[in-house]
Structure 1
């Protein structure tokens, strides 16, 4: 599993409003496109450098496609990255703080120590 790659996806998508909307409305297509075209770019590097080996596992890909923040947390995705992206995608569909409270409630069954979020 590559927690780094999942966190990189969450980070890069969250910073582009067009990608946020694309991921909200077409998650499968966005995840597949990003994995093929952006996953191997060196983060914050504009020199054209890239790697060739980074790929999501099947469980990571499924959790991203399903917008399943609980599964992403279980896999070790950083909860702050997931929360900020998911707020951008779904807060508009809820009242004030409703989405954030529901997000937290779905994670309430976890007890410490939480899954390792180090990359």
Structure 2
């Protein structure tokens, strides 16, 4: 399990409007593409420089592919990264202000302290 890789996925997808739409429309394909092409790219480094060892665990891959933000939270993904990305993807589907944020809170209401560790 790599909280770093989960957070890197959430961070990089959230900052690219085309990737946000791709992830919304084809989560499984986007996760597979990102893991194969972007996961090992070193952030803020020279183009072409990468590592070779990072990969999602099966439960991480399934949570990402299923847009399962409660599972991502339980796996230690940073809640601000999940919230901002999922707002970008799903807020437009709601008719009431803050409706998605309230849904997010409801789906995480079963969590109690201590929350999962979000340190990377």
> Which TM-score band applies after superposition, normalised by the shorter structure?
over 0.9
Corresponding residue for 2:118?
117
Matched residue SS, 2:45: coil
Matched residue SS, 2:59: helix
Runs of 4 or more above 6 Å deviation: none
TM-score between the two structures when normalised by the length of structure 1: 0.98
Any unmatched runs of 5+ in structure 2? none
| C-alpha deviation, 1:30, in angstroms | 0.3
Counterparts of 1:75-114 in structure 2 under 5 Å?
Answer: 75-94=75-94, 95-114=96-115
| C-alpha deviation, 1:43, in angstroms | 1.2
Paired residues, number: 119
Matches of 2:114 and 2:73 in 1, distance apart? 13
Matched residue SS, 2:84: helix
Any unmatched runs of 5+ in structure 1? none
Matched residue SS, 1:20: helix
Corresponding residue for 1:24?
24
| C-alpha deviation, 1:46, in angstroms | 3.3
Counterparts of 1:38-53 in structure 2 under 5 Å?
Answer: 38-53=38-53
Counterparts of 1:60-71 in structure 2 under 5 Å?
Answer: 60-71=60-71
Corresponding residue for 1:34?
34
- Deviations along 1:38-94, one digit per CA (max 9) or x if unpaired, are 000001223321000100000000000000000000000000000000000000001
| C-alpha deviation, 1:16, in angstroms | 0.2
| C-alpha deviation, 1:114, in angstroms | 0.5
Question: What do you get for the CA RMSD once the two structures are aligned?
Answer: 0.7
